[in-house]
Amino acid sequence: MVPVQYYFILSALLFFIGVYGFVSRRNLIAMLISVELILNAVEINFAAFNRLLFPGQLEGFFMSLFGIGVAAAETAVAIAIIINVYRNFNSDSVDSIQNMKR
Amino acid sequence: MANYVMFIILAVVILGSAVLCVTTKRIMRAATFLLFVLFGVAGLYFLLDYTFLGAAQISVYAGGVTMLYVFAIQLVGKRSLQGLMERMKCSRVALGAILSLVGLLTVCAVLMKNKFMYAACQVNDVEVPMNTIGNALVGADKYQYVLPFELISVFLLACIIGGLAIARKEK
């Protein structure tokens, strides 16, 4: 088995690549994609810690599984909101949104 | 040994695609690279012998979420997204780079100080049996997860209805 710290370093790198994308991009969909990267990094951590530190239990496994489900739901709602924003403001950049209601 | 080789291949795919995903100028390419990252993460789950988790990752993320992104990109319009006119502001790029480097250094320092990884045990490469997972998923005893499972299903339904209500065209 690959040692647990390799997984840790991989997921830390993935997490901060996601953070970089979230800060540097101004496009709503690109920011959402960066959030997906961050969520995936967290789920790798859950699964690897569970498998390599506590192989008899399944807590991290189910945390990852439910995390995948919640991420799917979050994406659906966020994309609905983005489409609505585009319809109202004719732009998909976060800078274009000045008020919550037009 | 084979595990190490697989891990290195997957790590290169994941990190390379992730970097390209956040630096590319076209949103459609970003979505495609996200797909590669998701496949790589599913490969990591297979490597950890969590076959069920890997299958769920592929079917939900790679099959569902990426498809949603592609649809949203196509719907939101040619002018603003597919050809992309996103301008990367230098100040924002620098801010993001500094923020993520500082965070990465902090996390690595915490990791180096910590001793938990010496407790890692050597597990054999056996797949976690589906029987165990199924019993834990829909059992109601201690360390069994029927309640979160049902909660997630209702939550997904609520999110679908909410998404429909938000995206509906106002008359």
Show which of residues 31-60 on chain A sit within 8 Å of chain B, judged by CB atoms. Answer: 32-34, 36-37, 40, 43-44, 47-48, 51-53, 55, 57-59
DSSP state of A93: B
Q: Is B2-125 a domain of CATH 3.40.50.300?
A: no
Are A82 and A28 a contacting pair, CB within 8 Å? yes
Tell me what the mean pLDDT of segment B119-128 comes to: 73
Classify B127 in phi/psi space as left (phi over 0), alpha (psi -120 to 50) or beta.
beta
- Residue of B31, B162, B53 lying closest to A58 (CA atoms): B53
- Per-residue pLDDT reduced to its tens digit, B146-169: 999 999 999 999 999 998 888 887
Show which of residues 79-98 on chain A sit within 8 Å of chain B, judged by CB atoms. Answer: 79-84, 86-87, 91-93
In angstroms, rounded to a whole number, what is the distance separating the alpha carbons of residues A80 and B160? 10
Report the pLDDT value the prediction gives residue A93, as an integer from 0 to 100.
Answer: 74
- List the domains of chain A with CATH numbers: 4-96 (1.10.287.3510)
- Per-residue pLDDT reduced to its tens digit, B93-122: 888 899 999 999 999 888 888 777 777 767
Segments of chain B assigned to CATH 1.20.120.1200: 2-125
Report the pLDDT value the prediction gives residue B1, as an integer from 0 to 100.
Answer: 81
Report the pLDDT value the prediction gives residue B24, as an integer from 0 to 100.
Answer: 87
Among chain B residues, CA nearest to A21: B22
Tell me what the mean pLDDT of segment B32-40 comes to: 94
- Per-residue pLDDT reduced to its tens digit, A13-47: 999 999 999 998 888 888 999 999 999 999 999 99
Among chain B residues, CA nearest to A5: B117
In angstroms, rounded to a whole number, what is the distance separating the alpha carbons of residues B42 and B52? 10
**Which of A3, A73, A86 is facing B156, going by the closest CB pair?**
A73
Give the three-class secondary structure for A27.
strand
Are B80 and B25 a contacting pair, CB within 8 Å? no
Q: A94 is written with which tokens?
A: 């976060």
Q: How far is B31 from chain A (nearest CA, A)?
A: 7
- Per-residue pLDDT reduced to its tens digit, B70-95: 888 888 765 555 445 556 678 888 88
Beta-strand runs (E) in chain A: none
Question: Chain A contacts of B107, Cβ < 8 Å?
Answer: 12, 15-16
